[in-house]
Amino acid sequence: MTDVRPDRYGPWCPLPGPKATTPGRLITAIGRECEKTGGRILRASTVTTKLSQTCFCGAKVAKTLADRIHTCTACGLVGDRDMVSAALGAHVRLTDADDPSTARLDDVQARHTQILCDPGLQEALSSHRSAVPAPHGAAPTRQPTGRDTPAAQGLCPTKHTDRYRTNPE
């Protein structure tokens, strides 16, 4: 389920000029893939769901767009704002699948998920990119560098692989 708003396309296309990939093309491609598997895209309104302003426990957690970390004072959940919103998106229900404004967050189901997944929810919602502090006593994590990166290990294509060279040596 996604809500793609035209006023949010700017960050996807930061440079002027023609693009090989645009939000419209992305949504069209996702729609085609959904149809191939017998599904379809369902859109949910961010106005009615307020996923980035809500916690699994049901508490409202006001944030500005600059606030990247979700911190709930009611239940103590701390996580990457986008990860929390995405996880809550699994609990959105539509009364009319063709009308995004009928989308509502199922607070009861979200709370059940929080209770059932309590031991691992905090870790799952903490993105490796975020500045969420590690629990007291936890070993520090580090980002892969040099030979440890997936590209250096040949796990993803880079400009240095033969596949992308115009004149292989």
Domain assignment present for residue 156? The answer is no
Residue range(s) defining the domain that contains residue 94: 49-132
Rounded CA gap, 135 and 140, in Å? 10
**115 and 73 in one domain?**
yes
pLDDT at 55 over 80: yes
pLDDT at position 98 over 70:
yes
Given a cut of 70, whether residue 71 has pLDDT beyond it is yes
**One domain, residues 32 and 67:** no
pLDDT category at 145 given cuts 50, 70, 90 is low
Q: Is residue 164 part of a domain?
A: no
Query: How large is the average pLDDT for residues 36-51?
Result: 92
Report if residue 163 sits inside a domain.
no
Q: Give DSSP secondary structure letters for 43-112.
A: B--HHHH-GGGB-TTS-B----TT--EEE-TTT--EEEHHHHHHHHHTTEEESSTT-GGGEEE-HHHHHH
Asked if residue 122 and residue 73 are part of one domain, the reply reads yes
Residue in this structure with the two tokens 């980035």, named with its chain if needed: 52
Residues 69 and 103 in one domain: yes
Does any domain span residue 149? Answer: no
* pLDDT at res. 164: 43
